[in-house]
Amino acid sequence: MKYLCLVYTEEAKLAAMSDPEFEQLDADSLAYDKEMRDAGHFLVAQALQSVHTATTLRVRKNKLSATDGPFAETKEQLCGFVLIQAKDLNEALRVASKIPSARVGSIEVRPVRDLAESEPWDRRG
């Protein structure tokens, strides 16, 4: 089963970090990507540019509107994502809890809708 780990942080908090701290976070993130890849959990991960670069689109009655900024103004902003493979939510939470950004922000773990892969619980319990 696939889980999307959405990484939210306060951009102000990231901006307030010192250069060495920020570089360390990047290095830790890359190292953990590799760890996840070696363990067979990693599918894809990306960090995002600042929320001020975001554009939100809507098509209503065949008419396109584009507006500046994110879909919702919140205290924490989406700043990256990791798509992982895990056998169940417990494993997904275990993998996601070690994503380095969890120490600065929060990680929302969302199961991916994938009907072809859905199956009942692991019967071995």
* Site for another protein, rule CB under 8 A: 1, 87-90, 93-94, 111, 115, 118-123, 125
Name the residue nearer to another protein (CB basis): 31 or 112. Answer: 112
CB of 39 to another protein, least distance (A): 15
Q: What pairing do the DSSP bridges indicate for beta strands 42-47 and 2-9? A: unpaired
Q: Which are the contacts of 113, defined by CB distance < 8 A and separation ≥ 6?
A: none
Nearest Cα to Cα of residue 51 among 64, 70, 71: 70
Shortest Å distance, C-beta 102 to another protein: 15
55 and 66 Cβ atoms separated by less than 8 Å: yes
Supply the minimum distance, in Å, between the C-beta of residue 111 and another protein.
5
The residue among 62 and 118 lying less far from another protein, judged by its C-beta, is: 118
Nearest alpha carbon to residue 58 among 67, 50, 49, 46: 67
**Residue 20 or 120 having the CB closest to another protein:** 120
Distance in Å, CB of 123 to another protein, minimum: 7
